A and B are shown apart, each in its own frame.
Chain A
Amino acid sequence: MEKMTEEQVKSIANMLRKRSLWMIHYCTGCGAMELPPTMTSRYDMERFGLAPYVTSRQADILLITGYLNVKTLRRVITVYEQMLDPKYVIGFGSCTLNGGVYWDSYAVIKQLDRYIPADLYIAGCMPRPEAVISAFRHLMELIDSGKADGYKRYKRNLAYYKENQRKVLG
């Protein structure tokens, strides 16, 4: 039998990886409200192989629902660094994109991807469960094609991310 190339092994790994994703959801804001219907029987995300999980060590996806302020960003970074590779980050709602309605707040950081690499954003305030499911489907495509490489970018540009983190966290 012919030996598989590294490329082929990677593509098989990615194909299997995308079908079994465990998600830790960091519910800082109001976005958490949309997750129960997404998880439970109405929209049932488990049919795509996605499951909510409670610890960061076993999770693959970090879903950040809603705004992040200086205090919660510190915890998010801890959770993100505890997760094992490969790991993917989804920013949920307009607050993680550009601050949303809290753009002028003294505490809310406005761009998630300056501090940890985001693979995907779900725009909207609030994104409906349909949007969440479609984001997961999109993430699966990205994983399959090898484009969801946030964790690699984090390692490559660690100095950039750490400098930004230091600026706001002190």
Chain B
Amino acid sequence: MMDIVDKIKGIEGAKVTVQRENRVFVDVSEDKLISTLYDMKLIGFHQLSVQNVIDRIKDNKFEIFYVLYSREYKINAIVRTWIDRENPVIKTADKIYPSAHTWEREISEMFGIKVDGNEDSGKPFILENWKDLPPMRKDFDSVKYSSEHFVFRHSEGENE
């Protein structure tokens, strides 16, 4: 395992933490993200398992992470970066990992993150006629939205 970790450590700008056996965190800055993903693919991480976002509302950041897997070394590497919550924009990774195309459509809808270079990122994907804040953001109040839009049944019998 250690030789692959050494290879990851060789990538410029990557801060590597070995969390446990077969799981490595690779923290990069926003501008090094795409080049890091490219280098990761070159050293053997051919599969993008998950790409998603965590809303770090206390730090006013979005954490973007890519879970990569290497069949050769049987190891998961999680590439993470942090971007500002105001006007969030990331660059597309779909030229490196084609499956990122669909993940990016989902995160752009669920978090309101604009994806540069992905022409489908602004299009409706899962939600229909959504006009509110993107629903996976922490400051979106799901209970409030639900009680405003859908009527709760308080009494017995049909509401007629």
Contacts and interface: CB of A to CB of B under 8 A. Distances in A.
B159 A103 contact: no
Given A70-B128, A71-B126, A106 B160 contact: no
28 contacts: A70-B127, A70-B128, A70-B129, A71-B128, A74-B128, A98-B152, A99-B150, A99-B153, A103-B146, A104-B143, A105-B142, A105-B146, A106-B132, A106-B135, A106-B140, A106-B146, A107-B127, A107-B135, A110-B146, A110-B153, A111-B152, A111-B153, A113-B159, A114-B159, A118-B158, A160-B160, A169-B128, A170-B128
A99 B153 CA distance: 9
Given A74-B128, A160-B160, A170-B129, A104 B142 contact: yes
Contacts of A63: none
B129 A169 contact: yes
Given A114-B159, A157-B160, A160-B160, A108 B126 contact: no
A83 interface: no
A114 B151 contact: yes
Interface in A106-133: 106-111, 113-114, 117-118
A24 interface: no
A30 interface: no
Of the candidates A99, A106, A167, the one having the most CB atoms from chain B within 10 angstroms of its own CB is A106
A103 to B, nearest CB: 7
Question: Which 5 A-B pairs give the minimum distances between C-beta atoms?
Answer: A170-B129, A98-B153, A104-B143, A106-B135, A110-B150
B145 interface: yes
A23 interface: no
A97 interface: yes
Interface string B59-88: 000000000000000000000000000000
B47 to A, nearest CB: 29
Interface residues of A, number: 26
Of the candidates B145, B146, B149, B159, the one having the most CB atoms from chain A within 10 angstroms of its own CB is B146
Nearest to A97: B153
Nearest to A121: B158
A77 interface: no
A168 B146 contact: no
Contacts of A108: 146, 150
Contacts of B126: 71
B155 to A, nearest CB: 11
Contact of A106 (B145, B158, B159): B145
A110 B152 contact: yes
A106 B142 contact: yes
Contacts of B128: 70-71, 74, 169-170
Given A111-B159, A157-B160, A103 B152 contact: yes
Contact of A113 (B129, B145, B152, B158): B158
B126 to A, nearest CB: 7
Interface in A82-104: 97-99, 103-104
